[in-house]
Each structure stands twice: as C-alpha cells, then as structure tokens.
Structure 1
Amino acid sequence: MDAIRVTKVENVLCSKGGKTGLGTLHLTAHHLIFHYQDGEKEMWVPYPLISLVTRLPQTLQGQCPITVRCRTFEMFSLVFAQESVAIDVFESVKELTVITSVQQLYAFFYTPNPPFPTSTGWSLYSPREEFGRMGVGVRTKAWRFTDLNKDYTFCPTYPARLVVPTKISDTTLQYAGKYRSKARIPTLTYLHWANFGTITRSSQPMVGLTQSRSVQDEKLVEATFQSHWAPDARAVSGPIYGATSTNLIVDARPTTNAMANTAKGAGSENMDHYKDARKAYLGIDHIHVMRDSLGRVVEALREADAVAVGGDPPGEAILDRGALRRSGWLRHISAIMEGTVLIVRNVHVNSSHVLIHCSDGWDRTSQLSALAQLCLDPFYRTMRGFMVLVEKDWVSFGHKFLDRCGHLSSEKFFVAPAENAAAGGSAEAAQAFFASVQKRFASQADIKETSPVFHQFLESVRQVQRQFPERFEFNERFLRQLHYHLYACQFGTFLFNTERERRVGDGGPPPCERTVSVWDFFNSPDEREKNLNPDYDPSLDDPTSRLSKADMGVLFPNPRDVRFWYQLYSRTDEEMNGRVITSQARGVEMLGPIEGVDEDPTIITSSAASTPPSPAGTPVALPSSPQPSGSSASLISQPPPQVTASSGLSSSLPELSQMTLNDTSANSGSSSEFSLRTPSGPQRTPSPAPGRGPSSPRRPPDWAGGVKSIWGKLSSNASTAFSAVQGAYDGVARDLSKSLAASTDDGESGVNAGELKSRDQLSSAWGEDSSSATSRAQPSYTVSSSNPWETMRERPTIPSLFLDNPWNTARAPLPSHAPLLNEIPFAGTSSLPHDPTVSYPKPIAPVRSSTLGRPRDVISPAPVIQLSSGSHSPSGATQVKNSQPTSVSDRPSENVDPLGVGFM
C-alpha cells in the first residue's frame, strides 16, 4: 500500500469505446476501478492486464490526460483537472503494475466469495488417468510410465510422470537426455484411439558443427516409431495394423533457423541415422517475429482509435485492413494450421507416428501438439477435455507462461513527458514526449522473452471452431474468457513456467495450494452455462457412423480459411475482415478475405516468378493455366472505360472466365474481398471499394464461370458502348480462340501463344514488314489509364499489347442499337471525328480445316467491311466497300486490319 500515492480521485473524465463519462477513480492494491456517476457499470482493470500507460502533456485547456491500453486490446483515457494528481495516479499505477516477484500478484490474495462449488481444478489432469483413457497399458503394452523425473532432477522443465517406450530402459533415457536440449527427450503425449499412431514431443538435438550423434537417442526414436508392434511380438515377420513407413520428424522451425542453431551446438536430426522416418520443416517463425507481428496489429488498432475522436463510435473508426494484412498475423496462424493438418493426416490416415520439436520444445511444439490432438480426438473438443489438453500440453510440459505473458511487466511500458519540459513551453514539452516514446520503442528489444504464444494457440482453436461450429461443446466466449484470465493473474494456473514451480514450494506451501485454479472458475454453474455452445452435436463425432459426411470425429481444417478473431479485438467482422460474400460463385472455392492483388500469396508467387516488372501505370497480365475446350480469352487485364460522374450499373464482360485487377487499380483503392480458385489455377474476383454500397444482385451468366464483372459499379452509358465493341469483336474472338486451341511445337497453349505475341510479330506473320507495321499513322485520340477517375493522358507511341486492347473504350464504339452499317453516325452528319481504324465484321464463315495446320499467329482473316477514309458520297454518307483478302501475299501493306477490331 506504500506505493499508492492517491487512492481516490473525483470528477475524472473517462473515455472508452467512443463514450465519455464523469466519475470517481479508485486505486486499490490490485485493481484500477472507475465508478461512473450516471450509474453505468463499474470498470475493473487488474494491473497485470495493463500493457501500456501514456501520460500526455498538459493541454491548452489545462487538462492532464492519461491513456491506458490493456492486453485485451481495449483502450481508455482518464482526464484530470490538475497535473499533480495525474502524476500521482501515473506513478501509483506504475508501482503497482511493475513488480519484482510473482508472489505479489493478485492470485496469492484472491479468495472467491462465495466459494466455488468445486475445488478440484489442480487435480483435474491426472497423467495416469488421461493416458489410460488413450489406451496406454490397456490397448497396447508398448508404452510405460517412468519415475525418472519424479523429483524434477532429470529435466526441471518436464512433468514428473513421463510415458516412454517399454523396451527403453531408464539408463538409456539418461544418456539420451544429454543429447537433447534441456534434457527434453522424446516422450509420448498422445496415442490415437483409431490406431496405434502416436504424437511424441521433444526439444532439438545437440548436433552442432561436429555433427554429433547419440545412439541412445536414435534407439529411443526408433522404438517410438515401432511402438505399434507389441514388445513380445517384435520378431513377427509381418507388420501389425498401422505399420507404415511415413513416420515424420516435424521440425517446426524454418530451415535457416534450424541450420543457424547448428553454430550454437544444436541443430536438427541427421536423417541418415534415424530409420524409417522423414523430416519436415514447417517454417513457423520464432517468438520474436510473433511478438512483432501482433505489435503491428495493435498499432493498426491504435491508429484507428486515434481517428475515432470527438465521440465517434468505434464502428466509424477507419481501420486499415491493409496494415492488418501486412502484419503477417494471419499468415503465421495459417502456417500453424498447415502443420497441424500434416500431423493429423499422418497419424489418422497413414496410421503412423510423429515426433514434434522446435528449439526447446515448449512454444511451437505445444501449439502443434495441442492443436493436432484437438482435431484428432473429440474428447478434447468438450469443455473438460479442453481443460485437460491445456493442463497436459501447456502447463505440465513446461510452457513459460510467466516469461511469455510478462506478468511482472516493465517500466518501459510507462511513458511520460520529461519532468522539466513544462517550464520550456509547449514545443519543448511535445519534443520531450515524442523523444520518450521513441526511446521506449528503441529499448523494447530488452524484453526478449515476451511473446503471444498461448494467445496464438487460442486464435488457432478459434479458426477450427469457426470452420466446425457444431463440433465444440464450448463457445467463442469460453476462449475469450480464457485469454482474459491468461493475463489478469487472478488464478494461479498461468503464473509459472514449469510444473515444478507450481508443485514444489520454496520454504512454504506450494503455489497450487495457495492459489485457486482457473478451472474451478470455469466449472462453476453460472460460468459454465454462459460458455456452452448451443449448436454442439456430439453425434457427429461417432466413429462408427457410416453416413456420407461422416469423418470418424477427426477434423481437417482448411489452413487458408483464416480470419481475424474480431470479438477478441472488440471490433466488428467487417472492420477487420471486410464484407462477406454470402453467395459463392459456381465452381469457385472461397478461401477468405483478401484485400488486394498485392496481398494474395498465390498470385504474388506466380506473378513474381513469371511476370517481369512493368512501368508504372501499365496493366500487368498475370499468368494463368490453360482453359478447357470452348473457353475464350484466358486472362484479360485492361484499363476500365472512361465514365462520367453519373455512375450506374454496367454489363458483365462476355466470353471471359478470368479477370484480375491491374497494379494501378489495386493501389488506387480497389480491393478484392476473396481469393478465388478454380481447377484451372488461381483467380480473383473484385469487390466494391470500401465505403460504397453493394451493387444490385444478379445471377452471373453461364459463360462467366460464376465470376462477376469488375465493372459492376460503372456507368450504364459506358456499358452500352462497352458491350457494343464487344459485340463486334465477339465472333472474331470466338473463331480465333477455336483456331488457336491446337497445341504448338513448343508446348504453349493456343490462347497464350496467340495473345502473348507482340504487335511486330503479328504484323510479320500477316505478311507485313516491320517498317510498314510501325509506320502506320497513329490516331490522335487518347486512352484512359487503369484508374477510371484519372485525367486523360496522351497515348504513347510505343506499341503495347496491353494498351492497344480491342476492348478499349477510348476508341469510337459501335452503338448496339444501330441495325445497319450505313446508319452509323460517323460521317459528315455527325459532329464526332471519323476514326479510320475502326472496322466492323460481317458474320464469320466457318474456319477452313486447312488453317488448323498453320502456326497460330498465321490464320486466314474473316471477311470484313472496311470504312473508307477518303471517299464520301455527295450526301455525306460514308462509302462502304467489301474487302476479302484471300492469302497473305494478297493483303495490302497499308491500312489493313485483318481482325476487323482496329490496329493492334
């Protein structure tokens, strides 16, 4: 109590969630309490829940604000009338939050009132009972319990009871312990109920630069991978059910990290010495990368809160979803889920064994092991089973809760302006404040052990729960409450690093006898009722079910279907994940919200590998897979049509099955909500820009493959002209697509071979020399850029396949309502300038079979009706003449348009 300078402050303004209220602030030994005068519910904040406190300089109105951010991603500010009071509150909160011993935490002083109905939380998990439920000693005799670590002398970070192969003696284990980091040897954590597949866990081997090996460790791993044989049946020639050769050693680290640890004397297994096994690197980053990734998420939330000032509700805050994507948080969760699916498939489908480790085997190893068991065993998806899972794979196996959660906090999380800055004026005070902020972030690297590892596990569980909502007995609130009590330090479950620290008292009763278990709180009737999932259906987990959708109770989550857990961050789903498209396109797999082309990993990978960099503002056509027979253009990337301010609906693009945004439109604010894939390769569909209303629903036509047009919001006037040019090109494009469908000698598809030819190549193939192809008179019109709202710019003189697009709306379009060519208003009766490059085709005759043997870029053109630029009738009507070239040599070298769509 000596640390509390002031216990009560009246007339304090508190702003939280866009609401501001007047009330009284109370500071107790373990909580910050704010009591509202208007009768609103009191706000209780445990001090360990505070992650950052900032005391701002005095404002011009004489107010002294203090901003508090919590580990539950909530933020509130307290405004005091006097600076001395604000300083006293700031220093008191700092002294009460930054402590030197875990014994000072609230859990050692908390007594439930009234007491909880049950007090069996510390004995909820019994190793003998849980492993007996799996079948150790019952279904199989290949595993045994060992008391080698009963006094925690063999491995201080391991539990007292370990399950090891029966034919491995304790002496062999003693030698094997010297080869594993921290003596964390491979030991059993899960025996699959459907077969004898197992999950074992350990730490990294001490290989080093000398490539050391341990025969005892190799024998221990070999016995683990052969545990599906009974010990007394080892000499049997034929394998027993479950014997396969797909045993895995899963190294959760990236390959470079594992190799870097070799220089420190550790490393990864040399697979030449481990029989009947393969090794897989999962590429999950270490704790420092995860801490920085979550920090970027928090920074994006903080910036959104800074925008929502002046009483705006949180829903009106502008949350930068691009910043959330760039944080990499969902990418890390996806990597964990991919590793989980690999483990689940190898254990359940392949009936094999998996050994998991990372560096020391208490962070990424716990994540993968627990999440895989959650998918394999329906028991762990019940409320009691999940408690047992956390106790077994996190609490007893030595996850460092005290270090990773930072329960003791640090003075670096308390930022205040310099004390002597007020005398130097507001400018000096502001400078000193920002310097202190920079100093805090620069020295944050000293806090090396904190990382949201268990938080990341809870988010991964939430992803599985969201994908399988009927397979969990507990709801989303249960996970959120668990995250709260992870940092609140009200209970003793998550206060220590090892089982030894909880079970062994240093000169007094052990902490397990002095604190209350968090499971007693969750098992209380009131709390349990709130955490039950009403949609839970245990019949779906029946392993004997033979229904069409039966899965034996084993879940295979989709690693690509990951979304931000918006409830945890006190946001809305639309704020953090974007709008959800409820009607899924036909034949397209919905993988989750993607903000733009630059953020889709599949498109980034393919485009980076095969697409050279393009000049700024030039649309980039991403590569695509060959289309099935009958489809037309494989991939189109083009600038949108120029539109006026009066925007309406536009028609969809005919004859298109794939579409992608170009770089300029992606950077200018266009966003795609979902990444779409079809069997032919990665594809995308755009979505309305943020802040706009949705376009009117319409059923996509059969030729569109279920993908809506990107121009869903453009002007109806522009769509009329746009569809008119498409109609003129429709017949030639279909004929050209069919003619180019045959395979070429180099293996290219007809679509790619035809569309990726340059203008000069096409000209030379049609019998024109390069000089005549490049000496054509360029029309004086302009083309629009990829941004439909960008000012018109002059057309470049360099030929470009992307800019010279036959669908470019900058050319003079043919109105769809003009029935006859002689009624086209482009002659003297029209005020519009005549464009000599526009031609309109007649109905196209069937392609002769003789053209199929030619190269793809040399085909017989369709008959065209060409508008003469130099001859006009006395009445002012345009003179029309028929042109039918019969061969390449008969074509004129000037002013010829073989496709009838304008010069390329």
Structure 2
Amino acid sequence: MDAIRVSKVERVACTKSGTTRLGTIHLTAHHLIFRYDGEAEKEMWVPYPIISLVSCLPQTLQGQCPVNFHTRTFETFSLSFFKDSDATDVFESVKELTVATSVTQLYAFFYHPNPPLSASNGWSLYSPRDEFGRMGVGSRSKAWRFTDVNKDYSFCATYPARLVVPTRISDTTLQYASKYRSKCRIPVLSYLHWANYGSITRSSQPMVGITQNRSIQDEKLIEAVFQSHASPETRASNALVYGATTTNLIIDARPTANAMANTAKGAGTENMDHYKDSKKVYLGIDHIHTMRESLGKVVEALREADTLLASINSDLPDQVAGLAVLDRGALRRSGWLRHIAAILEGTVLITRNVHVNSSHVLIHCSDGWDRTSQLSALSQLCLDPFYRTIHGFEILIEKDWLSYGHKFLDRSGHLSSDKFFLSSNDLVNSSSGAEAFLASVQNRFASQQHIKETSPVFHQFLEAVRQVQRQFPDRFEFNERFLHQLYYHLYSCQFGTFLYNCERDRRVSDGNGPPPCDRSVSVWDFLNSPPEMALNRNPTYDPSLDDPVSRAPGADMGVLFPNPKDVRFWYELYGRTDEEMNGRPFVAQSRVAGIEVVGPIEDAEEDSADLSRVDTPSTIPLPPSPSSKSTPLVPLAQSLRSLGLRPESRGTSPSPRAASRELSSTLDPLARPTPTRADSSSLFSTSPSDISLRAGRMPSPSPQIPATRARTKPPEFLPSSGVKSIWGKLSSNASAALSVVQDTYTSVAKDLRGGSEGEKTAELRSRDALSAWGEELPSSSTASSTSRGLGSLSLPTANPWAPSSPRTQPLALEENPWGSARLPTRPADPEPYPSLSPLPLDPTVAHPVPRSASSLSSISLTTAPSTTTPNSNGVDVAPPRNVSPKASSTTDPLGVGLL
C-alpha cells in the first residue's frame, strides 16, 4: 500500500472506444477501478498485470493532463486529469503496482473468492496415470511403460515427475540418451491414438554440433518409439492397419536455416542417416521473437485506429460511435495469420500421419516447450474428441503445456518492466530534439533481456483452436467465450495456474512456506463453477458426430482435418467486429443462366485468410490470379482477335474476320473478376473444359463450357519454365496492344517483300496466294506468329522489314483494354468486321485497307498526316504508293515496320 500515492481522484475524463465520460478513479492494491458518474456504465476493473503500456503525456491546450493506458486485452483508454499532480501521482502509483520483483507479489497469492468456489480440485484435475491409462497405456498396448526416473525432477527439471517411455528401453539407457538432448528433454510419449496405436512423442533438439555428434542410445530410443505398434509380448495383436502406409516422421518445427544455424551453438537437427525407417520434415514455423514482432504490428494497427478515432471525435461537435478506421492492410502485413496458417498446416500433417498412415510422429523445435506444445496439443485436439470437451481441453492444457514445461512466466511477462511506462518529463527537460530521441531510445531498449523472453505462444495456440472451432462449430463442447476467458486469466494473474515455468516450480516449495499450488486457486476451479459452465457451453455441440463406428455420409470417426487456408482474425478477442478486421464476406452477387459473378478479394496476396469463402462454378475449374491487384477485364474474343488466333486445333490461323465471327457467336463479352490465389498449375490445364493459356492455341468451344468465361491475369513467371512472361516486361496493357499491332504488320511486310519460305507464317504465305484480306487459305505450316513486346524491337537496319528474333518461351494471353480497331469494310463483303471495342484507333499506327489481291502489293502505310485521307469509317489511310526499303528507314521513327 506504500506504493499508492493517491487512492481516489474525482472528475476524471475517461475516453474509450471514441467515447468520453466523466467519473472517479480508484487505485487498490491489485486493480485500477474507474466508476462512471451517474452509473450509466458498468465499472471498469483493470488488474495491473494486464496493463502493457502507460504513457504520461504533456498538458494539452485545454489544460488537461492525459495518461494513456494500453492493455494486453487489446483495449485502449485515456484518463484526462485537470491537475498535473494528479496525473503524475496516478502514473507513478500504477507503475509501482504493476512492475513486480517476485511472483509472490501478484494477485493470485492474495485472491480469496467470496463466496468460495464450488469446485476445489483444480490442482488435481490432471493425473498422468489416469490420462495415459485412458489412452490404453498398460492395457491395450504393452509397448509403453511409466518411469519414475524423474520423480524428484533431478533427471530433467522442466519435465513432469511421471513420464511414459517405450517398454524395451531401460532407465539406464534414458540416462545416457538425456545427454544428447537439449535440457535433457528426451523423447517421451504425449499421445497414443485410440484407433491404431499411432503415437505422438515430443522432445528437444539433439546436440549434434559442428562435429556431427551422435548417440546410439538416442537412436535406439527413437527406433523403439517408431516400432511401438508391436508390443513385446505379442506382435500379432498390434498389427499394422491394413492398407496404411507407414511413414514415421521426425517433425522439426523450425525453419531449415534456423535448425542448421543451431549447429554453431552445439545443437542442430537429426542426421537421418542414423535414424532408419523414418523421414524428417521442417515446418518452417518462426521463433518466439518473430511471433512477438508480428503481434506487435497487429497491436500497433489497433492503437493507431483508436488514436485516429479519438482525434476524429475530438474535432467533431458530435461524437461518432462505431466508426471503422482500422487499417486491414496493416493487419495483413503483420503476418499474424500466416503464422497461424503454418501451425495449422503442421497440425494437419501430424494428424494425417497418425490417423490415416497409422504411423508415429516425433515433434521438437529448439527446447521443445513452445512450438512443440502448440503442434502436439492441436494435433491431439483434432485426433481425439475427448479433448474437445471442456474437461478434456483442461486436461490437454495441463498435460502438454503445464506439465511439459511451457515457460508461462517468461513468455507472458507477468512481472512487467518499467520500460513499459513512458513519461514526458525527460523529453520536456531535454535541450534538443536529438537528446530527446536518444533519451527515448535508451528508455525503451536498455536492459531488454527480460522483455526478450516474452512471446504470445499460448495466445497463438488459443487463436489456432479458435480457427478449428470456427470451421467445426458443432464438434466442441465449449464456445468462444471459454477460450476468451482463458486468455484473460492468462494475464490477469488472479489464479496460480499460469504463473510458473514448469511443474516443479508449482509443486515444490521454495522453502518459504507451502508450494504455490497450495497457496493459490486454480483457474479450473473458477471455470468449472456452475455459473461459468452455463456461460461457456456450446449450444450446438453434437457428440454423436464423433462416433468412431458411424458409417453415415460425411462421418469422419471423430478426427478433424482443418483447412489451413481458412484463417481469420479472432475479432472478438481484439474487441472489433468481423467486418472491421476481416472485411465483408464475399458471396455470389448474381446468377444468370447458372453463372455466378463473384467480387474480387482485395490484397489476397498478402494474406491467405478465408480463401474458401469464394464460390466458383463447378463446371469450370478457375485458374488463379497470382497478383493481388485487380485489372480491367475485356472479352476473350477481343484478345484473341488482337493476336490473330481462333479456338481451333494447334497451329491453325485462319483469317481474323472468320476467327472473330466464330468467337463472337460462342463467347459472351461478360467477364467477371477472378477469385484469388489457388494452385498455379491449373493455369496451364489442358482438360477439355478449360481454356489453355498457351501462345498460338485456344481449344475449341465445348458444349459443356458456359457462355460466360472467367478471365484471369496470367502469372508474371511461367510455372513451366521459370522465365518471366512478356507481361512482366511490358509497362502497361497499352504497350502490349501496340506490340501486337506492330508484330502483325511486321510479319505482313516481311511476307509481302518475298521473305524466305521457311519464315512465312501459316496465315500470310505469299502475295500470289493472297486473293483478298480475310479469305480462307489452305494451311501449310503449323507455326503461328507470336507477339513481341517493345523490349524485343530492333533498330532499323539495311532491311527495315526484317522481324526481330522470335520469342522462345510460351506466352500467356493478357487482357487488352484497348481492344482491336474496327477494320474498314470492302464493298464485296457480306458483312463488316465485328467491332469489339468502342475505343479510337492508335494515331501513331495506320491500318491497312482491304482491297483486291492485285492492289495488295501497292498498299503502304505512313505516319505523315499531310498525305492521309479519311475513308468512310473516319480512319486516316495513306494513298497507295511504293516505298523503298531505304526510304522506309527514315520515315519510320517508331521502328514498327511499314508496309
């Protein structure tokens, strides 16, 4: 109580969620309480350990002294005092009460529920013998046994007192094997599958080092784990499941580079030459520092939104409630959902290997208490319906998090730090801006060793559980509120469950009285009380869906396989709305003749969130769009016409008019935005129902293909060759359209000037064979001309008609927003060329006038405006005259080639 300088301050303005109200602040030994005037709002109780950042700001122009509070529950509120002394007293008091020097100063050692809780067995809720006996250890399977080698925590201080190991491995072998594992955390059993005796074991990294050390005892121990399907007594009773492929896995949760880098520290990863009948997989889950920084970016985006909302309301006469100012782009750039998706991908891999492949999995990261606990617990949650009940989930946390030594005290930062309390006094007293900056840097980053151990590992696990719960809402007995309560009491320090780093710290006295488990209340006693149980039950829970013998359609034997791509922000935890954090759901907007029009997903390249919500027609497998930016969409026939292609067999190129007439009759100009990322290999599909985006070929329209096609932007890098496509080199679609026109005219000019027979295309063969523009010609070659970008143009030489070297890579069609110009009609034509674009012609390139075959040799193009005359369509066309190669090189400033 000596730390409390002032216990009560009246007439304090509290600003929260953009709303400001007056009230009274009370400071107690363990809570900051704000009581609103008039009792219009419920009292706000803030336990000191939940406070994450406090900033005491200078006095405002209105004479108020604000103190900003940020909590670990992602709430932000500001207390404005009318006296500077009151603000300073409250700031210093909260600092002294929040920064603790010992765990025993926390609220859990002073909390006594009144009235007492009905449940009182929270500390004895988990019994290793009962839980592993439920799995079948000692009854269904004789391949595993209990060992008391760590009964006094002398074998491994961070492991539980009761361990389960393979039966044929002696305690002496375990003693030798412990020297090869970091922190002596040897492979021990965490889960035995109820269906096929598959197992999940966990450990820490091996001490390989740069000398590539090995341990025969560790190799024998893992070999016994991977052969535990057969018990020592009988090999027939525990035979492998018929049809299952044994794929024993060693899961290294770290990125490959991180695992290899640890060899310099004397650790590393397993050398698979010494571990037979198994494979190793790196999951690429980042370490605790990356996770802390990622969540910090999410918190920063939330704080900026709160600050912006507060400034908007301060400038407006009437306060605006519910205004959404959160930057979703900043949330995506944080990478938080990407990390959760990586954890879920590893969970699915482990679940599938144990249940489907009837095999074993050994999980480890560096020390085996962060990422290992996440993967092990989530996999068991998917494999065993028991862990999806309230009682089973509590046992799962006790077993895989508390007993196996997750460092709750260090990761949660319960003792806080004075670096999280920022005062403006040092900045005001500084004589220059440089000194102010250096003082703030020293205040924030000096002596950060304690803070560097903090990381939202258990928070990340709860959020991953929420993703599975959201995908399977009927398979969990508990609801979202249950997970939210667990997160709150992780940081409230009201109960002793999450205060220590290992089982030994909770069960063994430090010599100053009873052990912590006897001096504090378990969080399970509170959550299992009848009032809380009634609020935490899921009303849609259906345990019949987990029947392992059910053969009903859709039955899964109670084993869940979540979708790692369907991840979204847990908006209830962050105190926001679903639309504010995840955006609006994308549903079908219209249905015309069985075709759906789906809106684009913005910025999906930065985030894999909720990719399963986009509906696509079942008859057309849609290719993906690797770019997150939406592009203008044009009819498919227009792009084909600009390239002189038609949907025929490979290598044929009839006249552009015939191609456009056929495509116009089969393809509707309506296009739709594409869904976001999918498997990029589908871009080059050759199935009859797909459009193959290869240069020079389009499949024939099929009756199964609807009239509306979904257009997609081709990838910047072609998957087949790894070479950057033409559209990665062009600066815009306008330059692409100009390149197509230039290439077409260059090929025409080459052919008209008598090029070699080997260079003539199937469409333009020779002047003698051309009777009129647009008439059908017999094909003699299977090669069609390909478009070239501006980057492939060559400077005028002695032969200005010579085309550039052909491109050797396949080209993908791109949307052409400029379309193709309307060609002039001939009097003998029964119908004009169909116009697919209302846009004007390119003024820098003139267009040929279809004439008789005898006059084609005299057609020429020019860019001189003084020699052109408009035709019936309003297009400037040069009068017929012969142009010599020498003259064309001087009258062609663009180098596109003239006829």
Q: Which TM-score band applies after superposition, normalised by the shorter structure?
A: 0.7 to 0.9
The Cα shift of 1:318 comes to: 2.2
1:536 alignment partner, one of 535, 541, 548:
541
Q: Which residue of structure 2 lines up, in the alignment, with residue 552 of structure 1? A: 557
C-alpha spacing 1:589/1:618, structure 2 compared with 1 (3 Å):
closer
The superposition leaves residues 732-788 of structure 1 with CA deviations (integer Å, 9 ceiling, x where unpaired) of 9xxxxxx99xxxxxxxxxxxx979631699999xxx99724899xxxxxxxxxxxxx
- The answer (yes or no) to whether the contact 2:477–2:538 under 8 Å persists in 1 is yes
The Cα shift of 1:812 comes to: 7.6
C-alpha spacing 1:423/1:402, structure 2 compared with 1 (3 Å):
closer
2:366 alignment partner, one of 359, 368, 372:
359
SS in 2 for 1:25: strand
C-alpha spacing 1:543/1:566, structure 2 compared with 1 (3 Å):
same
Instruction: Map 1:11-410 onto structure 2 (within 5 A).
Output: 11-39=11-39, 40-233=41-234, 245-309=246-310, 310-311=312-313, 315-410=322-417
C-alpha spacing 1:19/1:420, structure 2 compared with 1 (3 Å):
closer
- The answer (yes or no) to whether the contact 2:595–2:708 under 8 Å persists in 1 is no
Name the CA distance, whole Å, in 2 between partners of 1:591 and 1:556.
28
> Do structure 1's residue 595 and structure 2's residue 599 form an aligned pair?
no
> Do structure 1's residue 499 and structure 2's residue 506 form an aligned pair?
no
C-alpha spacing 1:352/1:19, structure 2 compared with 1 (3 Å):
same
What letter corresponds to residue 508 of structure 2 in structure 1? V
Q: Which residue of structure 2 lines up, in the alignment, with residue 455 of structure 1? A: 459
- The answer (yes or no) to whether the contact 1:228–1:242 under 8 Å persists in 2 is no
The superposition leaves residues 659-695 of structure 1 with CA deviations (integer Å, 9 ceiling, x where unpaired) of 67xxxxxxxxxxx8x5455872499xxxxxxxxxxxx
Q: Which residue of structure 1 lines up, in the alignment, with residue 800 of structure 2? A: 771
C-alpha spacing 1:760/1:256, structure 2 compared with 1 (3 Å):
closer
What letter corresponds to residue 680 of structure 1 in structure 2? S
What letter corresponds to residue 125 of structure 1 in structure 2? Y
Name the CA distance, whole Å, in 2 between partners of 1:594 and 1:525.
45
Name the CA distance, whole Å, in 2 between partners of 1:138 and 1:596.
50
SS in 2 for 1:273: coil
Instruction: Map 1:477-876 onto structure 2 (within 5 A).
Output: 477-507=481-511, 508-583=513-588, 595-597=603-605, 654=668, 674-676=676-678, 680-681=682-683, 702-705=706-709, 757-758=787-788, 771-772=800-801, 807-808=817-818, 837=846
C-alpha spacing 1:238/1:534, structure 2 compared with 1 (3 Å):
closer
SS in 2 for 1:69: strand
What letter corresponds to residue 550 of structure 2 in structure 1? S
- The answer (yes or no) to whether the contact 2:223–2:275 under 8 Å persists in 1 is yes
Name the CA distance, whole Å, in 1 between partners of 2:528 and 2:253.
34
The superposition leaves residues 54-91 of structure 1 with CA deviations (integer Å, 9 ceiling, x where unpaired) of 00011122211000000010000000111111111101
The Cα shift of 1:871 comes to: 6.3
The Cα shift of 1:26 comes to: 0.4
Bigger shift: residues 120-129 or 242-251:
242-251
- The answer (yes or no) to whether the contact 1:399–1:498 under 8 Å persists in 2 is yes
The Cα shift of 1:525 comes to: 1.1
C-alpha spacing 1:633/1:314, structure 2 compared with 1 (3 Å):
farther
- The answer (yes or no) to whether the contact 1:98–1:410 under 8 Å persists in 2 is yes
- The answer (yes or no) to whether the contact 1:244–1:350 under 8 Å persists in 2 is yes
Q: Which residue of structure 2 lines up, in the alignment, with residue 745 of structure 1? A: none
Specify every segment of 5 or more residues in structure 1 that has no aligned partner in the other structure, as ranges: 604-610, 622-626, 635-651, 661-671, 684-700, 711-721, 733-738, 741-752, 776-800, 843-860, 882-892, 895-901
The Cα shift of 1:113 comes to: 1.1
Bigger shift: residues 396-405 or 297-306:
297-306
The Cα shift of 1:418 comes to: 2.4
Name the CA distance, whole Å, in 2 between partners of 1:630 and 1:164.
68
What is the identity percentage for the equivalent residue pairs of Structure 1 and Structure 2? Answer: 62
- The answer (yes or no) to whether the contact 2:198–2:229 under 8 Å persists in 1 is yes
The Cα shift of 1:441 comes to: 4.2
Name the CA distance, whole Å, in 1 between partners of 2:504 and 2:45.
32
The Cα shift of 1:494 comes to: 0.3
Name the CA distance, whole Å, in 2 between partners of 1:803 and 1:377.
49
Name the CA distance, whole Å, in 2 between partners of 1:462 and 1:279.
29
The Cα shift of 1:500 comes to: 0.6
C-alpha spacing 1:423/1:533, structure 2 compared with 1 (3 Å):
same
- The answer (yes or no) to whether the contact 2:108–2:493 under 8 Å persists in 1 is yes
Name the CA distance, whole Å, in 2 between partners of 1:597 and 1:813.
40
Specify every segment of 5 or more residues in structure 2 that has no aligned partner in the other structure, as ranges: 314-318, 612-624, 635-639, 651-665, 686-704, 715-733, 745-761, 764-782, 805-810, 825-829, 878-887, 890-896
Name the CA distance, whole Å, in 2 between partners of 1:219 and 1:657.
62
The Cα shift of 1:208 comes to: 1.0
- The answer (yes or no) to whether the contact 2:600–2:673 under 8 Å persists in 1 is no
C-alpha spacing 1:178/1:832, structure 2 compared with 1 (3 Å):
closer
What letter corresponds to residue 176 of structure 2 in structure 1? Y
C-alpha spacing 1:376/1:618, structure 2 compared with 1 (3 Å):
closer
- The answer (yes or no) to whether the contact 2:355–2:383 under 8 Å persists in 1 is yes
- The answer (yes or no) to whether the contact 1:74–1:570 under 8 Å persists in 2 is yes
Name the CA distance, whole Å, in 2 between partners of 1:880 and 1:820.
22
Q: Which residue of structure 2 lines up, in the alignment, with residue 750 of structure 1? A: none
C-alpha spacing 1:577/1:832, structure 2 compared with 1 (3 Å):
closer
What letter corresponds to residue 58 of structure 2 in structure 1? P
The Cα shift of 1:230 comes to: 1.1
C-alpha spacing 1:432/1:822, structure 2 compared with 1 (3 Å):
closer
Name the CA distance, whole Å, in 2 between partners of 1:237 and 1:193.
12
- The answer (yes or no) to whether the contact 2:74–2:575 under 8 Å persists in 1 is yes
Name the CA distance, whole Å, in 1 between partners of 2:598 and 2:303.
30
- The answer (yes or no) to whether the contact 1:653–1:709 under 8 Å persists in 2 is no
C-alpha spacing 1:436/1:384, structure 2 compared with 1 (3 Å):
farther
C-alpha spacing 1:432/1:762, structure 2 compared with 1 (3 Å):
closer
The Cα shift of 1:583 comes to: 3.0
What letter corresponds to residue 112 of structure 2 in structure 1? T
Aligned pair count? 731
- The answer (yes or no) to whether the contact 1:416–1:433 under 8 Å persists in 2 is no
The Cα shift of 1:38 comes to: 2.5
- The answer (yes or no) to whether the contact 2:36–2:43 under 8 Å persists in 1 is yes
C-alpha spacing 1:841/1:338, structure 2 compared with 1 (3 Å):
farther
What letter corresponds to residue 548 of structure 1 in structure 2? P
Q: TM-score, normalised by structure 2?
A: 0.72
- The answer (yes or no) to whether the contact 1:415–1:436 under 8 Å persists in 2 is no
What letter corresponds to residue 150 of structure 2 in structure 1? N
